[in-house]
Amino acid sequence: MPIHPSRREFLSISLAGAAAAMGAPALAGSRQPSGQKGLNILILGGTGFIGPEQVEAARARGHTVTLFNRGRREKAKGGMFPDVEKLYGNRDPEKFADDPEPTGPKGLESLKGRQWDVVIDNSGYVPRITRASAELLAPNVKQYIFISTVSVYASHDTPGADEDAPLGTMADPTVETMGASFENYGPLKALCEQSIEAALPGRTTIIRPGYIVGPNDPTDRFTYWPVRLDRGGEVLVPGMPEDPVQVIDARDLGAWAILMAERGTTGIFNAVGPGQRLPMKGMIDECRKATSAASTLTWVDSKFLEGLPPAQQASFPIWTPSEGEYAGFGLRSNARAVAAGLTFRPTAETARDTLAWFKTLPAERQAALKAGPSAEAEAAILASWHESQKK
């Protein structure tokens, strides 16, 4: 069965910026927070979307941070965290920071001979590459936190599935490309998890987020909704009001990663939110709180959307029809993560801050939302829908 557009989008945009680039028991152990001394934390990455939230959370808690990356995004953003130590190189031991130019620091060289309490790996997508960093760092860190994804799971058809659900596999685990439909992304991340656990048995924390959202999200997936509602008028909402969705604010994810470091908590955790079931209507209502624009909602049946002619096909971000192979996509269990201290801010707060952030962006960027249908495309689908309802 072809991958659903929203699901494909989840996979493809989760990979944004990644092109370059266990099965362990949960809660295997906990290092008690000393409350005395800050940790030395190495972040592999740190300058994209989720990394900066980890940096902020770590510094707010009195920890010392070192960033390792190629320096590209930092440069593109005009500099970041001037008072944080930066080490440059490339996750791929065979490449240089300036790849494809063979200049600048090579591979993981700049990490050699250094020690940290904890490493947080945001930028691992290929097991050969995560194995290299895990084996290099194993003698030099106490804990390895790996940011994985719920895409590791073989299926999404079971509501309430937890971290013990079967993982996706690949016929050829040496393949390093993501595949035409990004079908290798999840299985590759699963192999990355296993490569890290093999190098640091019992010292790994595997965090599997779903949609990560909030201010600075480069994908516009969640952002589409508060922005669209802020435009007002008749808003097309796909599916049924009760269709479940799951999102996690990058700030909550960042703070929790630091808590896991402070507590030395190891194991595997689904980092999906919020705390209770979030129906699509609930998410829309929360987003509406971010705007005073007048809007009406028109719910359009998923079968109708799927049956639209190719020219009218559109993808509505975050939402996935809650049936068949996606019946569990918005209902994955987060019980383990919540028990390990993961908390969620109100979705309305995420929507408010996301809209406020979006409005600070240059006009041309605001005019080019990266997710959801254009105003014209939405209007055309609404017209078709209303026409169909007359029959």
Q: Please give the residue ranges that form the binding site for ligand NAP (CB under 6 A).
A: 14, 17, 20-21, 45-51, 69-74, 90-92, 122-123, 147, 149, 209, 211-212
Nearer to ligand NAP (CB atom), residue 72 or residue 289: 72
Shortest Cβ 22–ligand NAP spacing (Å): 15
Report how far residue 151's alpha carbon sits from residue 25's, in angstroms, rounded to the nearest whole number: 19
- Closest separation between CB of residue 17 and ligand NAP, Å? 5
Q: How far is the CB of 335 from ligand NAP (least distance, A)?
A: 19
Q: Which is nearer to ligand NAP, 73 or 281 (CB)?
A: 73
CB 333 to ligand NAP: min, Å: 16
Q: Tell me the residue type at 366.
A: Q
CB of 142 to ligand NAP, least distance (A): 21
Q: CB-based burial of residue 132 (10 Å sphere; 0-12 exposed, 13-18 middle, 19+ buried)?
A: buried
Cα 369-373-377 angle, rounded to 5 deg = 130
| Cα separation, 161 vs 165, whole angstroms | 6
Token pair recorded at residue 198: 């093999």
**Residues contacting 181, CB < 8 A, separation 6+:** 3, 8, 11
- Which residues, 6 or more positions from 166, have their beta carbon under 8 angstroms from its beta carbon? 153, 154, 155
Both structure tokens of 210: 């779903």
Q: For residues 277 and 243, what is the distance between their CA atoms, to the nearest angstrom?
A: 10
**CB closer to ligand NAP out of 149 and 322:** 149
Min CB(122)–ligand NAP separation in Å: 3
Q: Which of 61/73 has CB closer to ligand NAP?
A: 73
Residue nearest to ligand NAP (CB): 48
In whole angstroms, the minimum distance from the beta carbon of 303 to ligand NAP comes to 27
> Nearer to ligand NAP by C-beta: 135 or 301?
135
Q: Which is nearer to ligand NAP, 151 or 302 (CB)?
A: 151
**C-alpha dist (Å) from residue 94 to 33, 128, 132, 329:** 38, 11, 10, 37
Q: What amino acid is encoded at 135 in this protein?
A: E
Interatomic CA distance for residues 337 and 181, integer angstroms: 29
Query: Which CB sits closer to ligand NAP, 10 or 378?
Result: 10
